[in-house]
Amino acid sequence: TGNLKIDKDGVLEISGVKSAHLANEYGTPLLVLDEIKIRENIKRLKNAFDSADYTNYEIAYASKAFLNTELCRILQSETVSLDVVSGGELYIAFHSSFPANKIFFNGNSKTNEELVMALENDAGHIIVDNEDEFRNIEKISKRLRKKAKIYFRVIPNISPDTHKYISTGQKNSKFGIPFDDMLELIKSIKNSENLEMKGIHAHIGSQINEPEPYVELVKTFFDLLNKIRGETGVVLPEIDIGGGFGVAHSTFEKSIDIQNAIKRVIQEVRFLSNKFHYPSPKIIVEPGRYIISNAGTTLYTVGTIKKTENKKYIVVDGGMADNIRPALYGAKYEAFIANRPKDKTNLEKVTIAGRACESGDILIEETCLPEIKPGDLLAIPSTGDYTYSMSSNYNGFLKPAIVLVNNGKHKLITRREIYDDLIEKDIENSEWR
Ligand code: LLP
């Protein structure tokens, strides 16, 4: 858990800031993002390419894992690109003056409005999911006199049965375009003034910890690139292998060895480029959780403590509204006491529950903690990914504040919601029509 340290008084610090201090300043639940971790994760990814001496690559952070204005700025300063999937994510990017030519627009059913928004603002890398969408992009870019850079999302048929991944790349997936349809489209736009064909894209799934599925994907890609070249004469210069690099959400889990995974991908790319006399493609990756997961720690204050016949519940002031992953995917986390030294002798088995009116709102099913009292502060690390971005106002809970920490300093980057946020969109005395 890297950035979390126990200081000389035995109290939990995040990047040099006492967690109790953060809780006092900003309240709880609080999402604490560590800027140094974010930059380290990016650096590790870049190093993986650099140490294999492959300069033709681009990292497009998958916004869906988490996005706000400040993160856009950090990514921009690291010259990382952005993968967005909606007008909403586009809006955050534009609002943060994120360079439009570094935005990749994914999604399996982009609306015309969203496509206009992207193209008008020159967010021109569009990953085409299907034929209808392709036609729309063609029409819109013609009307706006823009040139869209097109990638085709292919269906790689990498089976989720052989690899137990959260899979999106299998047959009958709702994502992607069948190969024959893609060939027809490529033939039809060979000389288009408004579309520039850049490459093929696939995302095989999430929490992938081994290099093999990515190597498989590269093989599939070259097979397709070769066929495309053979049948249409078009040489596509880029491949986008998607995201999904696995992270550990607790000390019981493993994360991917990114250095090795990227090395293996590059080896395969080099080998197949040589074999087929195909120009070395640009490699695009779309990691989400790999960049943000371990940069996030959630701080909760303990409320009710309850003993049942066989269980002891520690109820915190958040839960599934700010982190739905345990309830939705059975995701496993670990909690640490954060406001006082850990008593290593008096550990007891407890269940950390949220305060939503749902039995399923359990953050951690069973964990060992020293005796906890109401008012204590708990920290759950590795909660940067798919927590805030999937949060809701269920039960009228307010979304947490987000604070950025960096080596002893801290600043608020997203304010906590207030009750007025809950009624702001409601219209009183609306007229019947
Ligand atoms: N690219 C595409 C096209 C994707 O669909 C995704 C994730 C990513 C990149 C980034 O994947 P990552 O590197 O973050 O694993 N809510 C779920 C995860 C859903 C991921 C969907 N697509 C969770 O909390 O585990």
Q: Are 52 and 262 in contact (CB under 8 A)?
A: yes
Q: What is the pLDDT of residue 168?
A: 62
Ligand 1 nearest atom to the CA of residue 207, by list position: 15
CATH number, domain of 17, equals: 2.40.37.10
Of all residues in the chain, the percent with pLDDT exceeding 90 is 89
Task: Look at residue 318 and tell me if it is in a domain.
Answer: yes
Residue 15 DSSP class:
T
For the Cβ of 242 lying below 6 angstroms from any atom of ligand 1, the answer is yes
Task: Look at residue 264 and tell me if it is in a domain.
Answer: yes
Q: What is the pLDDT of residue 187?
A: 92
Kindly state whether residues 147 and 282 are assigned to the same domain: yes
Kindly state whether residues 246 and 321 are assigned to the same domain: no
Protein residue with least CA distance to atom 14, ligand 1: 288
For the Cβ of 287 lying below 6 angstroms from any atom of ligand 1, the answer is yes
244 appears as a binding residue in the annotation: yes
Kindly state whether residues 61 and 209 are assigned to the same domain: yes
366 appears as a binding residue in the annotation: no
268 Cα: distance to centroid of ligand 1 (angstroms):
24
State the pLDDT confidence band at 6, using cuts at 50, 70 and 90. Answer: confident
**Would you call 406 helix, strand, or coil by DSSP?**
strand
Q: Which of 38, 61, 64 to mutate to test the pocket of ligand 1 (most atoms within 8 A of CB)?
A: 64
313 appears as a binding residue in the annotation: no
Of the ranges 6-20, 35-49, 318-332, 415-429, which one carries the lowest mean pLDDT score?
A: 6-20
Containing structural domain, residue 29: 4-34+293-423
For the Cβ of 325 lying below 6 angstroms from any atom of ligand 1, the answer is yes
pLDDT over 80 at 165, yes or no: no
Residue 305 backbone class (left: φ over 0; alpha: ψ -120 to 50; beta: rest) = beta
358 appears as a binding residue in the annotation: yes
For the Cβ of 106 lying below 6 angstroms from any atom of ligand 1, the answer is yes
193 appears as a binding residue in the annotation: no
For the Cβ of 386 lying below 6 angstroms from any atom of ligand 1, the answer is yes
Kindly state whether residues 182 and 329 are assigned to the same domain: no
Kindly state whether residues 362 and 350 are assigned to the same domain: yes
203 Cα: distance to centroid of ligand 1 (angstroms):
8
Total number of domains in the chain = 2
- Write out pLDDT tens, residues 181-211: 999 999 988 888 999 999 999 999 999 999 9
Q: To 5 degrees, how large is the angle CA 385–CA 391–CA 396? A: 160
Please say which residue of 292, 314, 348 terminates a domain: 292
For the Cβ of 245 lying below 6 angstroms from any atom of ligand 1, the answer is yes
Kindly state whether residues 231 and 280 are assigned to the same domain: yes
Task: Look at residue 431 and tell me if it is in a domain.
Answer: no
What is the average pLDDT across 384-396? 98
Kindly state whether residues 83 and 149 are assigned to the same domain: yes
Enumerate long-range contacts of 13-17, CB under 8 Å, 24 or more apart.
Answer: 14/297, 14/379, 14/405, 15/405, 15/406, 15/407, 15/408, 16/405, 16/407, 16/408, 16/409, 17/405, 17/408, 17/409, 17/410
For the Cβ of 289 lying below 6 angstroms from any atom of ligand 1, the answer is yes
Task: Look at residue 231 and tell me if it is in a domain.
Answer: yes
Residue 44 DSSP class:
H
Kindly state whether residues 23 and 71 are assigned to the same domain: no
303 Cα: distance to centroid of ligand 1 (angstroms):
33
For the Cβ of 150 lying below 6 angstroms from any atom of ligand 1, the answer is no
388 appears as a binding residue in the annotation: no
pLDDT over 90 at 170, yes or no: no
Kindly state whether residues 352 and 261 are assigned to the same domain: no
Distance CA 241, CA 283 (A): 7
Task: Look at residue 433 and tell me if it is in a domain.
Answer: no
For 185, list phi and psi in degrees, rounded to 5. Answer: -65, -45
Check 357, 418, 423, 427 and give the catalytic one: 357
242 Cα: distance to centroid of ligand 1 (angstroms):
9
- Write out pLDDT tens, residues 28-86: 999 999 999 999 999 999 999 999 999 999 999 999 999 999 999 999 999 999 999 99
State the pLDDT confidence band at 341, using cuts at 50, 70 and 90. Answer: confident
CATH number, domain of 48, equals: 3.20.20.10
325 appears as a binding residue in the annotation: yes
Ligand 1 nearest atom to the CA of residue 288, by list position: 14
Task: Look at residue 429 and tell me if it is in a domain.
Answer: no
- Write out pLDDT tens, residues 242-271: 999 999 999 999 999 999 999 999 999 999
85 Cα: distance to centroid of ligand 1 (angstroms):
11
Task: Look at residue 430 and tell me if it is in a domain.
Answer: no
Judge if the upstream peptide bond of residue 29 is cis by omega within 30 degrees of 0.
Answer: yes
ipTM (interface predicted TM): 0.99
394 Cα: distance to centroid of ligand 1 (angstroms):
23
Ligand 1 nearest atom to the CA of residue 106, by list position: 3
Protein residue with least CA distance to atom 23, ligand 1: 386
Please say which residue of 253, 271, 292 terminates a domain: 292
Protein residue with least CA distance to atom 15, ligand 1: 244
- Write out pLDDT tens, residues 359-372: 999 999 999 999 99
Protein residue with least CA distance to atom 9, ligand 1: 243
Protein residue with least CA distance to atom 25, ligand 1: 386
Kindly state whether residues 129 and 273 are assigned to the same domain: yes
Kindly state whether residues 322 and 403 are assigned to the same domain: yes
Kindly state whether residues 243 and 348 are assigned to the same domain: no
Q: What is the pLDDT of residue 5?
A: 82
- Write out pLDDT tens, residues 114-126: 999 999 999 979 9
340 appears as a binding residue in the annotation: no
12 Cα: distance to centroid of ligand 1 (angstroms):
30
Dihedral sign of CA atoms 66, 68, 71, 76 in order: positive
Kindly report the pTM of this predicted structure. Answer: 0.96
Please say which residue of 249, 277, 292 terminates a domain: 292
Told to judge if 368 belongs to the known catalytic residues of this protein, a careful annotator would answer no
Q: Which of 167, 174, 206, 391 to mutate to test the pocket of ligand 1 (most atoms within 8 A of CB)?
A: 206
Task: Look at residue 428 and tell me if it is in a domain.
Answer: no
State the pLDDT confidence band at 394, using cuts at 50, 70 and 90. Answer: very high
Distance CA 104, CA 151 (A): 10
